Copies of this chain bind each other. A is one copy, B any other.
C-alpha cells in the first residue's frame, strides 16, 4: 500500500515536472524573441562597458533597451538627464513596484532626475478607484511614503499626484494636437471594453501619459534632455508614440529600458494588486508575507526525493523570481534548483528571511518617510507652454 502511494506520488511528480518544464520551454524564449521582433538592443553591451551597472541589469532582468546610448552619454559626461516612471495608485506598493523603484534608485545614483507621476486620474477613469479622492488618498498614505522610504533623494526626485498637479493637463492638451484618435486607438486598443471607454481614458492614455514623459524637457525643468522610461515590452508601441511626439515638438525622443515582470506568488502571471494572493505588499505584516510565501506556487515537486533527482523548474517559479529579482547578486539559485541541490522548503525559507528583513526595515523607515512627503512633491507651475 505504501509502495502504491509512493508510486502514485512519483507519477504525479513526474507529470507535474513535465508540465512545468514544457511551460518553461514555451516561455524561455519570450524576451529574447521580443528583442528581435521589436528591433530592441540587448542590455549586455551596456553592462559590459558601464563601470557599475545595476543589479537588475547584471542579472538580465532589465534585459533590453531602445536608444540607451543618448542617456549613457549624458550619464558619462555629467549632463542633465531624467527618468520618468508613473504608477497608478490602487493600493500599497508591492514587490512588482519595488523592482521598478530599485532600478529608478540606481538610475538616480547615476545622476538622473527622477519624475514619478502618481496617476490617480488613471486609477479613476479605468475603474480602479471609486473617486479621484479615493485614489488620491492611497497615493499620499500608501504609495508616496514607500517610495521615499526606499531611499530616494529629495533633491532629485519629483513626485506629483496628477489631480494635485493639474498643470499636467495643459501639457496634455498641448500634446494632444500632435495626435489623432485613430493613432491612440492603434496604440492602446479600443472597443475591447466599450463600457469602460470614456473621453477621460482616451485623453489619459493618449495625451496625459505622453505629457508626463515629456515634462522633464520643458523649459522650467531645464529644457530638452535625454529621458529614460523603464517599461515592459508590451508598452513599446507607446514609447514609439512618445518618441514621435517628442520629435514633432523639437524635444529629444525618450529612451526606454525593458524589464521582466516580477511573477505573482500564485503562479498566474505577473504580480498584481488585482490578485491579492499574487502579491507581497511593502506594508504587509511580516507574518502575513511569511504565510503567503509558504503557500506560494513553485517550480518544485511534491516528492522531495523526485526533486532531488530531477531538480525543479526555476523558470516558472515565483519564489525563484522573488529571490533573484530582489535579493540575489548572481544567478546561482538557478543551477542549485535545476540540479536538485536545494528544495522548495529551503528556498522559501531563504526568501522569507530576506523578505521579512526587507519589510521590517522598510516599515521602520516609513515612519520618517511619512513626515517628509512635502520635500518630494513637484510644485513648479508649467508656464512655458502658455507663452
Contact = CB atoms under 8 A, between A and B. Distances in A.
A223 interface: no
Interface stretch (A26-34, A60-68, A90-98, A180-188): A180-188
A163 B172 contact: no
Interface in A198-244: 198-207
A166 B167 contact: yes
A303 interface: no
Identical copies of this chain, number: 2
A200 B180 contact: no
Nearest to A195: B180
Report the 5 A-B pairs with minimum CB-CB distance, sorted nearest first: A176-B200, A166-B166, A203-B203, A169-B169, A199-B206
B198 A180 contact: yes
Nearest to A178: B198
A180 B202 CA distance: 10
Contacts of A166: 166-167, 169-170
B387 A177 contact: no
Give the contact-size bracket for chain A: 35 or more
Contacts of A386: 132-133, 136, 163-164
A173 interface: yes
A3 interface: no
Given A133-B385, A133-B387, A136-B386, A194 B176 contact: no
A125 B121 CA distance: 21
B199 A125 contact: no
Interface string A123-152: 011010001110010000000000000000
Contacts of A125: 173, 176-177
A316 to B, nearest CB: 38
A206 B180 CA distance: 16
Interface string A370-383: 00000000000000
